[in-house]
Homo-oligomer: A and B are copies of this chain.
Amino acid sequence: MAKNMTLLWCTGSCPCWRAMIALEEKNLQGYNHQLLSFDKMEHKSQQVLDINPRGQFPTFKHGDNVVNESYAICFYLESQFKSQGNKLIPDGPEEQALMYQRMFEGLTFYDKLGNVIYYDWYVPEGERHDSALKRNKDALVAELGLWEGYLSKQGSGSFLAGKTFSLADVVVFPTVAFLFRFGLSAGRYPKLEEYYALLKDRPSIKASRPPHWLEGPEEELLLKEI
């Protein structure tokens, strides 16, 4: 069905998961894919670099068209397969405005998550400061407050941009799932928990969940005090 598509990916990557949810939503199952290892530095392998000079996952090709950035993959697939699978951009101006706004706020959300859970990975040992990590945690708490507010305003059972699942959910859901994977308190963030529960078993999401999550929980619940 999608034999002329190739995805090189790794497990436990929000950007890869976004791309894979979009592929599922557009009924593009059956694409060629190869699960590579980030730990073994396979994102810097020649196979990846030949398609993606940045040496990153995901790396994606449709025919001769290379689209590697996860948001770009989402937009490209929705545009090229508009009438196939689920429609991911709503028609109404109001829903569209909200969808685009939440999609791009989603990048900030993901950054703020990453600045906490990947702090030691991003920052070399001699450059780490407790004050910086504390600031990053405070920024994540403020960010979580915004999203609790957005979801609260939308009301129960709603998606990020209204009554239908959209690209905003495709790109933001993985961030929410990572939050709970890393120990976020459902009690302190009930709207995010409700949103997570609403979507976690959606077929596109279930089919593309990071496979290593099946092996067990995270060892370090870095967000449990947040």
Query: Which residue numbers of A lie inside 8 Å of B, CB to CB?
Result: 53-54, 62-73, 75-76, 79-80, 89, 93-94, 96-98, 100-101, 103-105, 107-108, 124, 126-127, 129, 131-132, 146, 149
Contact = CB atoms under 8 A, between A and B. Distances in A.
Contacts of A89: 79
Given A65-B93, A72-B104, 4 more contacts: A54-B146, A62-B97, A72-B97, A72-B101
Nearest to A131: B127
Q: Taking chain A's interface residues, is the majority helix, strand, or loop, or is none over half, making it mixed?
A: helix
A103 B65 CA distance: 15
B76 A97 contact: yes
B101 A64 contact: no
Contacts of A68: 101
B105 A69 contact: yes
A63 B94 CA distance: 10
B100 A75 contact: yes
B104 A69 contact: yes
A218 B108 CA distance: 29
Given A71-B104, A101-B72, A129-B127, A53 B146 contact: yes
A25 to B, nearest CB: 17
A49 to B, nearest CB: 12
Contacts of A98: 65
A65 B94 contact: yes
A66 B101 contact: yes
Contacts of A129: 126-127
Contacts of A76: 96-97, 100
A126 B129 CA distance: 9
3 tightest Cβ-Cβ pairs between the two chains A and B: A69-B104, A65-B97, A72-B100
28 contacts: A54-B146, A62-B93, A62-B97, A63-B93, A65-B93, A65-B97, A66-B101, A67-B101, A68-B101, A69-B100, A69-B101, A69-B104, A69-B105, A70-B104, A71-B100, A71-B104, A72-B100, A72-B101, A73-B100, A75-B100, A79-B89, A79-B96, A80-B93, A80-B96, A124-B131, A126-B129, A127-B129, A127-B132
